[in-house]
Amino acid sequence: MKFAITSKGDQKSNILMHRIRTYLLDFDLKYDEDQPDIVISIGGDGTLLYAFHRYSSRLDKTAFVGIHTGHLGFYADWVPDEIEKLVIAIAKTPYQVVEYPLLEVIIRYQHAGKESRFLALNESTVKSIEGTLVMDVEIRGQQFERFRGDGLCVSTPSGSTAYNKALGGAIIHPSISAIQVAEMASINNKVFRTIGSPLILPSHHTCMLKPVKRFDFQVTIDHLTHLHKDVKSIQFRVPEEKIRFARFRPFPFWKRVHDSFISD
Ligand code: NAP
């Protein structure tokens, strides 16, 4: 089996990275940074987001496992004290793979024919470069509302505990293939009206944003931020691709939610 390791880059994570690499090489596993079967992410959720984007072109062939050396570690469910146990499990046991749904973002531009496609593990947010974001929101091809406000956040179920949660969105179990649209400070008064509640769309529904007056936007895909000019539409849906996590022991989602947000 071929493995790769991504580290947050701090001293603690780097020391662990070298130890795990040595242990796994001793077990005759091969280090392959380009085509790994398993990627071990050492740091926090931010490190796992980085690893996901590094290997997003081979999601069907790569499984991820996270060790957390930082604060939260929602995706990273192993702690440094357990690395010997984890190394033996990786080297000796066939692991179970758990798949979580992702978010597909397709940005089309005013110049016909041009489009960009992204996959997000947590979410994508759309904000105006200047002034209020004004977007027509279409759901399943039908005009739903004209949104005015700071921005919109479209998240995956596993990303529902991240930015989406801070916006008052619901936490969704990642066995549910869906996307969630949450508002950022919408303008609501006698003149302007939005739904005001987060929306959860099933995998066969698409959400499309169409600019009304301004056409340049700041779009985030997880931790990455890009400026997009002359935008015609931004489309969100659940893609075919999924992220695959290597599971060596049960760690139920609701326990992870409890341990991350209530107490551990
Ligand atoms: P960051 O600002 O350094 O960290 C964001 C925090 O979100 C970290 O504590 C991170 O955990 C945690 N996190 C990431 N994914 C999570 C998930 N699925 N469930 C629960 N918590 C999660 O940024 P970053 O490390 O580059 O991560 C980018 C992410 O930050 C974005 O995808 C977005 O979800 C989140 N964000 C949140 C807010 C907000 O809550 N108001 C605002 C902007 C961005 P670790 O400490 O383990 O890395």
Strand partners, 233: 108
Q: What pLDDT score was predicted for residue 232?
A: 97
Atom of ligand 1 minimally distant from the CA of 166: 40
pLDDT tens for the chain, residues 1 to 264: 999 999 999 999 999 999 999 999 999 999 999 999 999 999 999 999 999 999 999 999 999 999 999 776 789 889 999 999 999 999 988 899 999 999 999 999 998 788 999 999 999 999 999 999 999 999 999 999 999 999 999 999 999 999 999 999 999 999 999 999 999 999 999 999 999 999 999 999 999 999 999 999 999 999 999 999 999 999 999 999 999 999 999 889 999 999 889 987
* CB of residue 62 inside a 6 A radius of ligand 1: no
**Are the C-beta atoms of residues 205 and 178 closer than 8 Å to each other?**
no
Rg (CA), the chain: 20
pTM value?
A: 0.97
Q: What pLDDT score was predicted for residue 113?
A: 80
Q: What pLDDT score was predicted for residue 164?
A: 98
Q: What pLDDT score was predicted for residue 94?
A: 87
* CB of residue 72 inside a 6 A radius of ligand 1: yes
DSSP-H helix ranges across the chain:
11-26, 45-54, 83-92, 163-166, 253-261
Q: Ligand 1: distance of its center to the CA of 119 in Å?
A: 17
Return the amino acid letter for 162: A
CA-to-CA distance for 30 and 28, rounded, in angstroms? 6
CA-to-CA distance for 172 and 107, rounded, in angstroms? 25
Query: What does the DSSP 8-state code read for residue 33?
Result: S
Show the domains of the chain with their CATH numbers: 2-100+242-261 (3.40.50.10330), 103-237 (2.60.200.30)
Q: What is the dihedral of CA 93, 253, 178, 231, to 10 degrees?
A: -90
Residue (of 181, 188, 169, 176) closest to 138 by Cα position: 181
* CB of residue 45 inside a 6 A radius of ligand 1: yes
Is 45 an active-site residue?
A: yes
